Amino acid sequence: MSDLEIQADLGRQARARSPRRRRISVAEALAGAFALFLIAAAFAPSLVAPGDPLAIDPLSAFQAPNLVHWFGTDESGRDIFTRVSHGTGGSLVIGTLATGIGLGLGIVLGTMAGMLGRIVDFTVNRFLEVLFAFPGLLLALLVILVFGPGIQTATVAVGLATAPGYARIIRAQLISVRSAAFVEAATVLGRGRWQILVRHILPNTLAPLFVLGTLGIGQAVVWASALSYLGLGAAPPAAEWGAMLSAGRTYITSAWWLAFFPGLFIVLTAVTATSLGRALERRLRHA
């Protein structure tokens, strides 16, 4: 093996090497457990909470948390634990899809900017700067203004709003990987441009993207809830966390549990996604 070939091989190994074993912290364990709960609630809500999230029982409205209704009941006597559990699927799907849209668009734009030469780089960068001029949520509101409120629009809106950030990071990552020694080596060895991109550059760019995506799901869930909270996403009486928070806010002074539990789940989901993302990041960095 020549020196150059060793360099090129190292590039491939950089992603293949198994991470060094680190001890799992308490926070990570808790985050993992909550993530498992969320996944269970998302895929089989009836296992977690067997009731109907829309079933009303007016005469047992406004019950504080108790042994029968763990999270209490809302203004129509609906069980809040059931609603929060059944809302998980919706929130996670919106979060994941929106992050997928954002990352997908980010990869396309970032790769164009990073790989297709100065003119494209310049154009894409200016375009991203224009998008950056709007705060993300405002950009999402703009999309909703054009396409009308609803769950699908909200998902696309959050996806579009997060895309510029991802595109920036991917571009920077591409440029740094592009000038790495193992890429130089591959170039010198006469590998084609396309082959270098697919075999050497993208794999070394995507690992950090996985971390970004995990972090991003938390943010997307918060934003999607925010849109529903503003009445621009899921409509009541849908069991969606943002919509529930919005409906519960009316009774915040007399029945705190209506708003507290959906809010708690939004926060915990964001925190879980963030700590899992950070844990992944640390492991990749130490690799």
Q: Where do runs of H (alpha helix) occur along 116-201?
A: 117-132, 136-147, 151-178, 181-188, 193-195
Torsion of CA 39, 42, 46, 50, to 10 degrees: 90
Residue 221 to residue 87: CA distance in whole angstroms = 12
The stretch near another protein (CB under 8 A) out of 11-19, 33-41, 170-178, 251-259 is 251-259
Does 68 contact another protein by CB under 8 A?
A: no
At residue 79, what are phi and psi to the nearest 5 degrees? Answer: -75, 120
- Alpha helix segments (H runs only) across the chain: 3-16, 26-43, 45-48, 80-115, 117-132, 136-147, 151-178, 181-188, 193-195, 202-229, 241-249, 257-286
- Does residue 251 bind another protein (CB under 8 A)? yes
Q: How many CB atoms lie within 10 A of CB 124?
A: 21
146 binds another protein (CB under 8 A): no
Q: Which residue, 19 or 58, is less far from another protein as judged by CB?
A: 58
User: Do the beta carbons of residue 115 and residue 174 sit within 8 Å?
Assistant: yes
Out of 217, 247, 266, 280, the only residue in the binding site for another protein (CB under 8 A) is: 247
**3-class secondary structure, 187:** helix
Q: Which stretch binds another protein (CB under 8 A): 54-62, 170-178, 199-207, 274-282?
A: 54-62
Give the one residue of 32, 51, 203, 237 binding another protein; rule: CB under 8 A: 237
Give the residue with the Cβ less far from another protein, 163 or 239: 239
Residue 117 engages another protein in binding (rule: CB under 8 A): no
130 binds another protein (CB under 8 A): no
Residue 55 contacts another protein per CB under 8 A? yes
Please tell me whether residue 191 binds another protein under the rule CB under 8 A.
no
> Measuring CA to CA, which residue among 208, 217, 195 is closest to residue 281?
208
Binds another protein (CB under 8 A): choice among 30, 56, 93, 169? 56
Residue 116: C-alpha distances to residues 83, 113, 123, 229 (Å)? 49, 6, 11, 41
Return the residue of 235, 285, 286, 287 that touches another protein, per CB under 8 A: 235
- Lay out the site mask for another protein across 195-234 (x = CB under 8 A, - = otherwise): ------------------------------------x---
Minimum Å gap between C-beta 246 and another protein is 9
State whether residue 207 is helix, strand or coil: helix
**Min. distance of Cβ 148 from another protein in angstroms?**
10
What angle do the packed helices 241-249 and 80-115 form, to 10 degrees? 130
Q: Compute the least distance from the CB of residue 236 to another protein, in Å.
A: 6
Could you tell me which of 105, 195, 112, 89 has the C-alpha nearest to residue 143?
A: 105
When the beta carbons of 84 and 273 are compared against another protein, the nearer one is 84
10 Å CB burial of residue 135 (0-12, 13-18, 19+) is exposed
> Which listed range, 107-115, 116-124, 171-179, 242-250, lies at the site for another protein (CB under 8 A)?
242-250
CB-nearer residue toward another protein: 222 or 234: 234
User: Which residues of this protein are in contact with another protein, per CB under 8 A?
Assistant: 54-56, 58-59, 61-62, 75-77, 231, 235-237, 247, 249-255
